[in-house]
Amino acid sequence: MDPHCKWCYGTSDAIQQLYDTLEGKLQFEVVPAGMLAGDFAQVQSPVYAFAHRKLDASITKETGKEFGKGYSKTLENKEIMLDSMVPSRAIMACRAIAPQRALQFAHYVLHARFYDGKDLNEQTVYLEICEKLGIDKEQFFLHFSSPEIEENTRQAFLYADKYAEHYPTLIYEEDGEMDILTEGYSPYSLIELRLSKLLKRNR
């Protein structure tokens, strides 16, 4: 997934439902993808806003996921840099100290961007999420600011680039063998059906 991926936001409820159903039975791992990192980072603009409002409407129609008024108000803010690195580092920091919370943390990041309209470069966004999830803020920022997390984030980008062509991509891995469950949006019912078939095959 990527923190700036609107289809990841649209699919987040289905993924969360899958996690809630299978928590304790399967291990879940969130991999941020770096979609807008480095040379691909971009500043919002009126042209960007015009194009993306149409995309937002399509995503809501397909997924049922609403984009918030806060997001709509900040969509044309030219001071916001869309850069995947900062929110991805935050997700990786959560993975390091509270891996069982990483999926929910990532979903809160998506909600902060696409519902509340928050600037994901602001560290206060992650303080609020840590508070919601009961994650120690001091420990979080110690990891978030570390060179190790920055390197781990870059490695996550490489991993995502190797295995995923679209976001979100859901991969089932067992004994080193990988099967793609979904690429892009899929409803929960379809994800659950495909996973059930895989689990039966691997028994």
> Using CA atoms, how far apart are residues 162 and 149, in angstroms rounded to an integer?
20
Dump pLDDT digits (tens) for 168-199.
999 999 988 899 999 999 999 999 999 999 88
Q: At what angle do helices 124-133 and 85-97 cross, to 10 degrees?
A: 30
> Using CA atoms, how far apart are residues 98 and 126, in angstroms rounded to an integer?
14
> Using CA atoms, how far apart are residues 27 and 34, in angstroms rounded to an integer?
23
The one-letter code for the residue type at 5 is C
User: What does the pLDDT read at residue 59?
Assistant: 96
Q: Give the model's confidence band at 202: pLDDT under 50 very low, under 70 low, under 90 confident, else very high.
A: low
User: What does the pLDDT read at residue 203?
Assistant: 63
Q: How far is CA 162 from CA 106, 114, 153, in A?
A: 21, 27, 14
β-bridge pairing 169-174 and 81-82: unpaired
Dump pLDDT digits (tens) for 142-178.
999 999 999 999 999 999 999 999 999 999 999 888 9
Q: Would you call the peptide bond into 147 cis, given omega within 30 degrees of 0 as the criterion? A: no
CB atoms within 10 A of CB 177: 8
User: What does the pLDDT read at residue 109?
Assistant: 98
Dump pLDDT digits (tens) for 121-138.
999 999 999 999 999 999
Out of 73-77, 91-95, 187-191, which region has the weakest mean confidence (pLDDT)?
A: 73-77
Q: Where are the domains of the chain?
A: 6-163
- Domain 6-163 matching CATH 3.40.50.1360: the answer reads no
Q: Positive or negative, the Cα torsion across 185, 189, 191, 194?
A: negative
